[in-house]
Amino acid sequence: MTRLQEETSSCAQCPLRQGARQVAFGEGNPCAKIMIVGEGPGQEEDRLGRPFVGPAGQLLDKILAAGGFGRMEHTYIANIVKCRPPGNRIPTPSERASCLTHLYRQIEIVDPVIILLLGATALQGLVKPEGRISRDRGQWILWENRWVMPTYHPAALLRDVSLKRPVWEDIKLVVARYRELVDANHASQYC
Ligand code: URA
């Protein structure tokens, strides 16, 4: 993973790198059984070079903790694009396509059993170009021999608290599958 991170830090495959302070490659346990994929770095992620460290990331940490998952212990977190799109706009199809090569290699290295996709860009960018998050969330997709669960992006929850319940339902499905496929004794305070 370190070599891939080095290679990615000097990537110039798309124009996003020019506007970004640094590459937010990804972090967590490279042997994790759960991989989490978001959209792309925001302001705080760009400043620190780490994924999901701003307000949405803090909420993500709480959601994971409620399922008994520690970000650095049980998961590896990455994004569809590794460089911040200007003004936090949605990455274009060509930016996504050029960055996807890095994500595929991360997935190959981590080799997760479960992938949690956060939001429409992650769903459409990785597994289902015609996907709709409001329709597809909460339903398992078997993709490349991995179980993929799409759910709402935590930034959407910050704007609309009514999305908290469906996200929690989705996390409970992830916990159940994790117990089934990875660790029957996985402990969670809430489910
Ligand atoms: N939103 C994302 O999709 N990814 C991050 O890393 C931070 C916010």
CATH number where 132 lies: 3.40.470.10
Which atom of ligand 1 lies closest to the CA of 24? 6
Domain residue limits at 116: 2-7+27-178
Residue 19 lies in a domain: no
Collect the ranges in the chain with pLDDT lower than 70: none
- pLDDT score for 77: 98
Residue 71 lies in a domain: yes
Determine the distance separating the centroid of ligand 1 and the alpha carbon of 187, expressed in angstroms.
27
This model's pTM is above 0.75:
yes
Residue 190 lies in a domain: no
* Close Cβ partners of 97 (under 8 Å, ≥ 6 residues apart): none
Residue 99 lies in a domain: yes
DSSP state of 38: E
Residue 20 lies in a domain: no
- The CB of 91 under 6 Å from ligand 1? The reply is no
Residue 83 lies in a domain: yes
Residue 191 lies in a domain: no
Give CB contacts under 8 A, 24+ apart, made by 59-62.
59/154, 59/157, 59/158, 60/36, 60/118, 60/154
Residue to probe by mutation, ligand 1, list 52, 59, 126, most atoms within 8 Å of CB: 52
Considering its fold, how many domains does the chain have in total?
Answer: 1
Which atom of ligand 1 lies closest to the CA of 80? 3
3-state class of 141 per DSSP?
strand
- pLDDT score for 139: 98
- pLDDT score for 28: 98
- pLDDT score for 189: 83
Residue 183 lies in a domain: no
**What pairing do the DSSP bridges indicate for beta strands 114-118 and 146-151?**
parallel
